[in-house]
Amino acid sequence: MKQLWAPWRMEFITSDKKSGGCVFCDLPKETQDKKNLIIHRATKVFVILNKFPYNLGHMMVVPFEHTHEFNKLSTEQLVEMTSEAQKVVDVLSEVYKPDGFNMGMNLGQAAGAGIKDHLHWHVVPRWNGDTNFMPVLGETKGMPEHLQTCFEKCFEVYRRKK
């Protein structure tokens, strides 16, 4: 039998999810972007590597403003979010050469939002055949590369594309 190791998942499983703070507000206030997996800071939004990804390279584009109301985002916020999402697709295409992408927002808990009070745009690279029996039957997903290695690769390419 082969073993899959994903020790970073335990941090999520055992974390206090009702601490009252907002991870998307708190992390950008810190100055440890590498530790916090923040790939890029723009004027109105930032790009962060998902710490608990669906697939390797799963990034999110997040407004600095704490809001869950998509309809209340300014035109400037929407334009910058879209521009940064395009860069994320470009970076991930260069670094990992996926066969496609899932992109979207889960607005509200009923829609599947894990962080329902601060909207964010998911960009998830996909490869032909990346869904097999493991996640479907075993509820297990193997990640082929460490998050910090993924961060380093994407950060370097993102920096070149500014």
- Min mean pLDDT across 47-51, 54-58, 93-97 is at 54-58
**CATH numbers and ranges of domains, the chain:** 30-160 (3.30.428.10)
User: What are the catalytic residues?
Assistant: 120
Confidence (pLDDT) at 28 = 96
Structure tokens belonging to residue 44: 């109105």
Question: pLDDT for 68-111, tens place per residue?
Answer: 999 999 999 999 999 999 999 999 999 999 999 999 999 988 88
Burial of residue 18 (CB within 10 Å: 0-12, 13-18, 19+) is exposed
Per-position DSSP letters for 19-65, written without gaps between them = SS--HHHHHHHSS-HHHHTEEEE-SSEEEEE-SS-SSTT-EEEEESS
Question: pLDDT for 120-146, tens place per residue?
Answer: 999 999 988 776 544 544 455 555 678
Predicted structure pTM score: 0.81
Question: pLDDT for 26-45, tens place per residue?
Answer: 999 999 999 999 999 999 99
